[in-house]
Amino acid sequence: MTHPEKLSIKQIRYFEAIADSGSFRRAADRLGVAQPTLTVQIAALEKSLNVSLFERQRSGVILTPIGRELLPRARRIAEELRGFSEQARDISGGSTYRMGVTRTLGPYLLPRVLPQLHKKFENLRLYVRESTPAQLGTELKSAVHDVVMTTLPLQGDELEIAPLFREPVKLAVPLEHALAQKRSVTGADLIGESVLTINEQHLYHKQVSDLCESLGATVNHDFEGTSLDTLRQMVVMGMGISFLPALYVASEIGDSGTPKITDVDGVTMSRDHALAWRRRSPHRVTFRQLADAIKEVVKADLTEEVTLI
């Protein structure tokens, strides 16, 4: 007999309005509908619920005891519906996007660009999670993230990839190391050197391995860092030399002088970073705008460290 599917939002609004007005006619005037509309709809509501909500009198209507008990519930439903619409209105200017980032870039770039981004996107909210570049691509395709900031290469016809900038890598040398005393370092100086890096599951490991191979240096497999911070500490402690990304250097080392930071003459190693999202994402326009905005911030503030591409 009671059938939830037969309820309608208008019936609930009519119930509320009549209870407030104490009269079908007055409620109809207020709502801008014809009085028989209310009569028919309330009768339908009463029938579907199998209760009487109002006692009809010549001078209007009064709530029955049942009507009195159900009215607060009707009000709550009306309130929840208002909240639904209002939240949608609030959100349509921006939602909470899930952003995946690499741990070798995210923590050192986002603090540099987010303040400026918030000036441009007032409602931007990001839920940032770290992952490896290999996993970030898969996770983006399967919607674990809405958008990712990662190191190229990244594959996927279904993805939209917006290149951001090229980040060079610096050589980090212990202060007591012979190379620290040299005015300039060349590739030949690295032959035979043992180079520390972070562990194998990171793209960064592969990039350093390839560089070492081309230079005649060797990758230290006995000691591997789990993050750029631990890598730096190992260098400071004299366990070997290492390569560190420029943004990390700018963010965490700066002018401290520890370890010694230098370029390698005639050798260029760098990493290209990009923002990526699914082509069919309803937010793809926003993400395109976000990529453009990041590039503008980089152009304005970070050209000492990185290069736009």
Alpha-carbon gap, residue 126 to 95, rounded angstroms: 8
Report the residue number, 76 or 206, with the smaller CB distance to its own copies.
Answer: 76
If residue 100 lies in a helix (H) or strand (E), which one and from where to where?
Answer: strand 96-102
Rg of the chain over all Cα atoms, to the nearest angstrom: 32
Does the protein bind DNA through residue 10 (CB under 7 A)?
yes
Structure tokens at 133: 């570049």
Type of residue at 298 = V
Is the bond leading into 65 cis (omega within 30 degrees of zero)? no
Q: Name which of its own copies, DNA, none residue 202 binds, using a CB cut-off of 5 to 8 Å depending on partner kind.
A: none
Alpha-carbon gap, residue 124 to 305, rounded angstroms: 26
Choice from 80, 122, 158, 222 touching DNA (CB under 7 A): 158
Report the residue number, 243 or 277, with the smaller CB distance to DNA.
Answer: 277
Footprint on residues 48-67 left by DNA (CB under 7 A): 56, 58-61
Q: Name which of its own copies, DNA, none residue 289 binds, using a CB cut-off of 5 to 8 Å depending on partner kind.
A: none
Q: How far is CA 261 from CA 186, 241, 249, in A?
A: 14, 10, 8
Query: Residue 25 has what DSSP assignment?
Result: H
Report the residue number, 3 or 221, with the smaller CB distance to its own copies.
Answer: 3
Asked whether the beta carbons of 74 and 12 are under 8 A apart, the reply is yes
If residue 219 lies in a helix (H) or strand (E), which one and from where to where?
Answer: strand 218-225
Provide the pairing of β-strand 260-262 with 264-265. Answer: unpaired
In angstroms, give the least distance from the CB of 91 to DNA.
20
Q: Name which of its own copies, DNA, none residue 129 binds, using a CB cut-off of 5 to 8 Å depending on partner kind.
A: none
Does the protein bind DNA through residue 111 (CB under 7 A)?
no
Structure tokens at 148: 């990712």
Report the residue number, 158 or 222, with the smaller CB distance to DNA.
Answer: 158
Tell me how crowded residue 61 is: count the other CB atoms within 10 A of its CB.
20
Choice from 2, 8, 214, 289 touching DNA (CB under 7 A): 8
Q: Name which of DNA, its own copies, none residue 88 binds, using a CB cut-off of 5 to 8 Å depending on partner kind.
A: its own copies
- The site that binds DNA (CB under 7 A) totals a number of residues, namely 26
Does the protein bind DNA through residue 157 (CB under 7 A)?
yes
In angstroms, give the least distance from the CB of 149 to DNA.
23
Query: Residue 91 has what DSSP assignment?
Result: H
Q: Name which of DNA, its own copies, none residue 282 binds, using a CB cut-off of 5 to 8 Å depending on partner kind.
A: its own copies
Alpha-carbon gap, residue 105 to 127, rounded angstroms: 16
Q: Given CA atoms 81, 82, 85, 86 in this order, what sign does their dihedral have?
A: negative
Of 115, 130, 151, give the one whose Cα is nearest residue 245.
Answer: 151
Report the residue number, 45 or 264, with the smaller CB distance to its own copies.
Answer: 45
Which chain residues interact with its own copies by CB under 8 A? 2-5, 7-10, 12, 49-52, 55-57, 62, 64-66, 68-70, 73-74, 76-77, 80-85, 87-89, 91-92, 95-98, 143, 146, 278, 280-283
Footprint on residues 11-50 left by DNA (CB under 7 A): 11, 23-26, 32-37, 39-44
Report the residue number, 62 or 191, with the smaller CB distance to DNA.
Answer: 62
Asked whether the beta carbons of 271 and 150 are under 8 A apart, the reply is no
Report the residue number, 15 or 243, with the smaller CB distance to its own copies.
Answer: 15
Q: Which residues bind DNA (CB under 7 A)?
A: 8, 10-11, 23-26, 32-37, 39-44, 56, 58-61, 157-158
